[in-house]
Amino acid sequence: MMDPIGFSGGLALFWKESSIASLISYSTHHIDVLVTIEGMTQFRLIGFYGYARERCVLRDGSCISGKIW
């Protein structure tokens, strides 16, 4: 969970106990997790909040560690 900055919202991720969410990275504008659900292929979930610095993410991925696509 990211705390709010001033009067801005914040960022949180919720999941069921039967699932596993492994945190890869986070910042004030994104959260990046690997999700494991029994009987399914693992998948990566990347959520953005507010200003996502699209130039950074789309051109070189430097805001997020590892492979994003």
Reading the chain (69 residues) residue by residue, the pLDDT tens digits are 556 666 666 677 888 888 999 999 888 778 899 999 999 999 999 887 765 455 555 554 555 555 544
Q: So what's the pLDDT on residue 17?
A: 86
Is residue 6 domain-resident?
no
Is residue 65 domain-resident?
no
Is residue 68 domain-resident?
no
Residue ranges making up the domain that contains 23:
19-59
Is residue 33 domain-resident?
yes
Is residue 4 domain-resident?
no
pTM above 0.75, yes or no: no
Which of 35, 37, 28, 21 is CA-nearest to residue 1?
A: 28
Amino acid making up residue 10: G
Number of domains observed in the structure of the chain: 1
Q: So what's the pLDDT on residue 7?
A: 65
